[in-house]
Amino acid sequence: MIDPLINDFWGLYAVDFHEEDENEPIFHSLIQNKVTFLFSEKYKKVIEKLKQNPLW
């Protein structure tokens, strides 16, 4: 997966390049499918909320 590579080399996060305005459905899908992914501090609260209260 590209996520660790771009983070290790450039300090970037793949989720920051998702083109849609709303990231919650993408985060929810990753969490529900138990996909490990890196994220910046700006998404920490959203991701913690989704882990506690899934969208569906």
pTM: predicted TM-score of the whole model, two decimal places: 0.70
Residue 42 is predicted with a pLDDT of 87
pLDDT value of residue 6: 92
Measure the N-to-C terminal CA separation of the chain; round to a whole number of Å.
Answer: 26
What are the pLDDT tens digits along the chain (56 aa)?
678 889 999 999 888 887 766 778 888 888 899 888 888 898 899 899 988 887 76
pLDDT at 9: 93
Distance CA 32, CA 19 (A): 21
Q: H-type helices in 1-56, by residue range?
A: 2-10, 24-32, 44-52
* Spatial distance between the Cα atoms of 40 and 46, rounded to a whole number of angstroms: 11
If you search the block for the tokens 């985060």, which residue do you land on? 27
